[in-house]
Amino acid sequence: MRLERMVERMTSAVRNLLRRPQVDAELDEEVRGYVEMLTDEKMARGLTQNEARREAKMELGGVEQVKEQTREVRAGHFLETLWRDLYYAARTLRKNPGFTIVAVLTLALGIGANSAVFSAIDAILLRPLRFPDGDQLMQVSQYNPKVKSPNPFVAPVRLEDWNRMNSTFQALTGYYAEDDSETSGPLPEKITIAFVAPRFLQVWGVAPELGRDFSPEEERVGGPPAALISNRYWRRRFGENPKALGKQLRIGKAGVPIVGIMPSSFLFPDHDVDVWLTVPIGAPYTESRDNTWYTVVGRLKKGVTLAQARANLATVQVQLGKQYPKPDADIAVKIQPLKDTILGNVGRSFWMLFGAVSLLLLIACMNIAALLLARSSQRRHEISIRFALGGSRIRIVRQLLTETFLLALAGAALGLVFAGAASKIFQTLAASLPRVQEIHLDARIVLYTLVCSVVVTLLCGLFPALRAARESISGSLAQTSAAQVSTRNRLQWLLVGVQVALAVTLLAGAGLLVRSFEAIGQVSPGFNPSHVLTFHVSASYGETANMKALTQRIDRILDSLRTLPGVSEGATSATLPGVPQEYEQQFKVIEGPTDPNRKTMADWRSVSPDYFATLQIPLLEGEACREQTGSVNVMVNRSFANTYFPQSSAVGHHLQVLGALANFYPTAEIRGIVGDAREEGLNHAPEPTIYSCFSAPMPDPYYLVRTHNAPMSLAETVRKRLAQLEPGRSVFDMAPLTDHLDDSLSENRLRMVLLAFFAATAIALACIGLYGTLSYSVAVRKREIGLRMALGAMRGQIATLFLFKGLGVCALGCAAGLALAITSSRLLAGMLYGVSPTDVLTLSAVVVMVLALAAVASLVPAVRASRVDPMTALRYE
């Protein structure tokens, strides 16, 4: 029965919608017919025709109203009115192009920016890693709780122990990457190799696209060699030829056949990895518990939580500690979700960005709300007529909301276009951020944008619509504009004030970041980074077996490079100066009292002897170190000397290194003192540092070469010389040192640029709001102005009156904004350098700028007010 009724109603709905004019005409005729018949009745009772008709009409209560009440219950009414609302809303918007364009642009900026940032956050933070069940992947590292050493790498034999003894992981594996040369082709080619432990593909859950995974024999010592290659390498080297399977690669002295090709989506551990090789377990160099190489990744069993895994591996490590007290008793295990390790500090910046953008959207909404309020008061007449024609309050509110909704929709559509463009810009600006290539607009972003539009509609439109509909008929029709002055304006001024406050807060933040960035730029680094070329020469860790040969090789390269025309100095270093790479080391001063409570720590850098000359770090005392076999020379910097040798000179003293490096470095002698250099980054004060003079800290150190002219101009010359010296090796990552320094500051720069952009948009929006509200105020108070002028006020006084009104509200907004900025200064504290979050100079500059802009925005309406002609104004009704 219910179903029949529903079907009937739907058929009627369709009929009503399709044949609306006809249906309406019939209704009209029916109701009028009723009136006629009622009139006839009354006439039959003895009234005259006119009296009868009048009574009939009164009894009816109004033809239009009855018709409207009937229409309301008809099927399909809702859709019909909706359609009519939309049509009318579109027409109204079209007739006010100025307002519409401003509103749509404002919304587009707000919604578009929100969508762009959200899509970036989604790609970089929210979407899990693109592996099956990526949330199960964990990064596992070891660390010594007693030493603040950043060495998280794990020894292969320990990895195997963990894998065997744990109960919470499906499998654990490890990898490390290094560069080498592949020599089976006509020229040696540099490739990036990832050396992996067994079960590598099992942990990732990815299978090769062609060929197969490693077999168990290939993963043990003595077994046949095998390699997996990446899709990119396959394309580049073999042109995607399936016959590449089985071909032999030549790495070092060995030939390695290709057994599998990975799919193009597999880019782990690095985007650049070309070849995966196994590290055979059981090989002698994998047996030592101190040889730590691997970055370990594991996949949790289904249903196991992070807490359980942590507890389990902690127990396993305790057992190992009992079995092998040295070194396992000192080692603890750390487990983190893999996702977190890839992101680092980026997460914090992004949420700050998201907050700023949402704030911007809020400001945009308030602007629109103010504009809508202004317009709705101008439409009071129209709205009153609607009431008179029988419209209900809900209908009218709905009509006004539809307009706002159309605006929001248009703004969202345009905003999506903006967001697409912004994504591209984001990718270029932030190319160094992880996973930035994965940012696209997708269905979720579009959905988010639509939700934003709806929210915006409600925020902007509800209040003005409700307000407009609240007025009674008689009040609005009879009233002239004279009476309604300050009460409504108070709300609009409040909105302007809040906007100004928010803009001031954003501007203060941006200003502080700008100044902090400048301060970093002006800091003296303690070394001369210009005219220095850096590069790498491929090498393999196997060379560490013969340190003497390695050192000789590197020294030979350096000597040869120094003879090149255009080169003045050359050196090697384990780390780049000015690029943060912490490595702290505990040591003990041999001659002198040792305080057991006070740990002596310093930064440890391994550099070749000519490092200081190459970077122009001044030698303050003693002499430059030399490489000698037998004893180890070190240099220290001035901070070190001042901290640990306040009275005597540090030169000549001996240091004993403690901790993991103790095996490699026996007692060291301090040869000299050099000036402080900001090795940890330009925004960090120099720390006490020990430089060990050792040109081969690793097989593949950074090479630093000081050139007379622009560094890159020597690139080809250096390559050719190295091709002569070391034909089997490739030269890569050539860049001036200044490029590296710029890169390390790129995140700061990005933050600064973006925040400045938002602050600029915010203040622009606030000014638009100010202008709009003041103009409206002038328009509404025309009569009052006319009166004042008639009573003797000068034009200048009128202009000043309005100017001060605008500035006054602005000043209040500034005060509120300052308070907000000061209370939220803690948010920025971590990102600032050289300037405090409540820096007076910056804050006052912001306030002055905002007031100046407000004055400009208020000028035009104020001047317009002064030009009002009192005669026309007083006659205006």
The DSSP secondary-structure symbol of 545 reads: G
Shortest distance, position 31 Cβ to another protein, whole Å: 7
Which CB atom, from 59 or from 270, has the smaller least distance to another protein?
A: 59
Given a contact cutoff of 8 angstroms between Cβ atoms, the answer to whether 488 and 372 are in contact is no
Identify the CA nearest to 203 among candidates 242, 234, 162.
Answer: 162
Three-state SS for 700?
coil
Which CB atom, from 5 or from 164, has the smaller least distance to another protein?
A: 5
Could you give the CA distance from residue 174 to residue 362 in angstroms, rounded to a whole number? 48
Query: Which tokens in the block code for residue 812?
Result: 């209040």
Shortest distance, position 20 Cβ to another protein, whole Å: 14
Could you give the CA distance from residue 62 to residue 51 in angstroms, rounded to a whole number? 16
Shortest distance, position 83 Cβ to another protein, whole Å: 19
Shortest distance, position 466 Cβ to another protein, whole Å: 23
Which CB atom, from 205 or from 390, has the smaller least distance to another protein?
A: 390
Three-state SS for 421?
helix
Which residues partner with 105 through β-bridges?
none
Which CB atom, from 11 or from 305, has the smaller least distance to another protein?
A: 11
C-alpha 642 chain-centroid distance: 41
Identify the CA nearest to 806 among candidates 496, 363, 485.
Answer: 496
Backbone angles phi, psi at 613, to 5 degrees: -70, -40
Given a contact cutoff of 8 angstroms between Cβ atoms, the answer to whether 570 and 717 are in contact is no
Could you give the CA distance from residue 855 to residue 805 in angstroms, rounded to a whole number? 10
Residue at token pair 């390790």: 341
Could you give the CA distance from residue 296 to residue 293 in angstroms, rounded to a whole number? 9
Identify the CA nearest to 31 among candidates 73, 58, 64.
Answer: 64
Which CB atom, from 4 or from 595, has the smaller least distance to another protein?
A: 4
Three-state SS for 646?
coil
Identify the CA nearest to 178 among candidates 572, 696, 539.
Answer: 539
Query: Which tokens in the block code for residue 852?
Result: 């100046």
Three-state SS for 280?
coil
* Cα torsion 698, 699, 701, 706: sign: positive
Which CB atom, from 5 or from 94, has the smaller least distance to another protein?
A: 5
Given a contact cutoff of 8 angstroms between Cβ atoms, the answer to whether 652 and 670 are in contact is yes
Shortest distance, position 862 Cβ to another protein, whole Å: 51
Identify the CA nearest to 193 among candidates 108, 254, 129.
Answer: 254
Shortest distance, position 48 Cβ to another protein, whole Å: 17
Which CB atom, from 66 or from 725, has the smaller least distance to another protein?
A: 66
Shortest distance, position 7 Cβ to another protein, whole Å: 8
Which CB atom, from 4 or from 877, has the smaller least distance to another protein?
A: 4
Shortest distance, position 66 Cβ to another protein, whole Å: 5
Shortest distance, position 19 Cβ to another protein, whole Å: 14
List contacts with another protein (CB under 8 A).
4-5, 8-9, 12-13, 26-27, 29-31, 33-34, 36-38, 40-41, 59-61, 65-66, 69-70, 72-75
Query: Which tokens in the block code for residue 134?
Result: 């990526």
Could you give the CA distance from residue 105 to residue 97 in angstroms, rounded to a whole number? 12
Given a contact cutoff of 8 angstroms between Cβ atoms, the answer to whether 667 and 632 are in contact is yes
Which CB atom, from 46 or from 98, has the smaller least distance to another protein?
A: 46
Shortest distance, position 71 Cβ to another protein, whole Å: 9
Three-state SS for 322?
helix
Could you give the CA distance from residue 672 to residue 641 in angstroms, rounded to a whole number? 10
Shortest distance, position 35 Cβ to another protein, whole Å: 9
Identify the CA nearest to 543 among candidates 405, 748, 729, 682.
Answer: 729
Shortest distance, position 78 Cβ to another protein, whole Å: 14
Three-state SS for 249?
strand
First vs last Cα of the chain: how many Å apart? 60
Shortest distance, position 45 Cβ to another protein, whole Å: 13
Query: Which tokens in the block code for residue 293?
Result: 């190489």
Shortest distance, position 85 Cβ to another protein, whole Å: 21
Q: Which helix (H) or strand (E) holds 229?
A: strand 227-229
For the beta carbon of residue 99, count every other beta carbon within 10 angstroms.
18
Shortest distance, position 2 Cβ to another protein, whole Å: 10
Could you give the CA distance from residue 408 to residue 747 in angstroms, rounded to a whole number? 33
C-alpha 606 chain-centroid distance: 35
Which residues partner with 255 through β-bridges?
250
Which CB atom, from 387 or from 612, has the smaller least distance to another protein?
A: 387
Which CB atom, from 63 or from 715, has the smaller least distance to another protein?
A: 63
Backbone angles phi, psi at 472, to 5 degrees: -85, 160
Shortest distance, position 73 Cβ to another protein, whole Å: 4
Distances (CA, A) of 544 to 577, 582, 860: 24, 23, 76
Shortest distance, position 43 Cβ to another protein, whole Å: 10
Shortest distance, position 59 Cβ to another protein, whole Å: 7
Which residues partner with 233 through β-bridges?
none
Distances (CA, A) of 269 to 140, 172, 210, 272, 274: 14, 15, 20, 8, 11
Could you give the CA distance from residue 560 to residue 718 in angstroms, rounded to a whole number? 10
Which CB atom, from 28 or from 270, has the smaller least distance to another protein?
A: 28
R_g of the chain, CA atoms, integer Å: 38
Which CB atom, from 52 or from 445, has the smaller least distance to another protein?
A: 52
